[in-house]
Amino acid sequence: MPQIIPLCNAKDLVNSGVAVPFDVVYGGQTCSAFAVRFKGIAVAYLNRCAHVAMEMDYQPNRFFDTTGQWLMCATHGATYAPLTGACQIGPCRGGLIKIDISESDGVVHWHTAYNLKPLEF
Ligand code: FES
């Protein structure tokens, strides 16, 4: 049964703005993830480039390129469509791994899945 886990206030995610980071367990490994907003829609992905499995932010929590239209990996410049995570340009193959999120009553939540769990403390 998927869990729905509070992540941040909806107003914390500004269009093409700074991401809200969070940690997940993906396939048994602890991974960084991030949520951003683009054209009013909140989306979340593992912070793992589809080129080499590295974190992508060029400064902490900054993923959008200078145009604010693409998510970009700082290492070799792969760019991804913000709403789908699909690779657009650069050395990436495939796309980013998407995490389901939702918004209700001004709060953004992320959703667990069979291979995506919260960190246990
Ligand atoms: S690791 Fe992201 S583009 Fe190469």
The CATH number linked to 10 is 2.102.10.10
Q: Is the confidence at residue 101, as pLDDT, over 80?
A: yes
Distance 52 CA to ligand 1 centre (A): 5
Q: In what order do the strands lie in the sheet with 98-99?
A: 98-99, 41-46, 29-38, 20-26, 116-118
70 is written with which tokens? 């693409």
Q: Is the confidence at residue 1, as pLDDT, over 90?
A: no
Sign of the Cα pseudo-torsion (118, 55, 73, 8, in order): positive
pLDDT digits (tens, 9 = 90+) for 14-61: 999 999 999 999 999 999 999 999 999 999 999 999 999 999 998 999
Do residues 45 and 99 lie in contact, with contact meaning Cβ atoms separated by under 8 Å? yes
pTM for this entry:
0.96
Testing ligand 1's pocket by substitution, the residue of 63, 65, 75 carrying the most ligand atoms inside 8 A of its CB is: 75
Testing ligand 1's pocket by substitution, the residue of 32, 48, 51 carrying the most ligand atoms inside 8 A of its CB is: 51
Q: Is the confidence at residue 73, as pLDDT, over 90?
A: yes
- Tally of structural domains, the chain: 1
The range of the structural domain enclosing residue 81 comes to: 4-118
Residue 72 in contact with ligand 1 by CB distance below 6 A: no
Residue 73 in contact with ligand 1 by CB distance below 6 A: yes
Q: Is the confidence at residue 84, as pLDDT, over 90?
A: yes
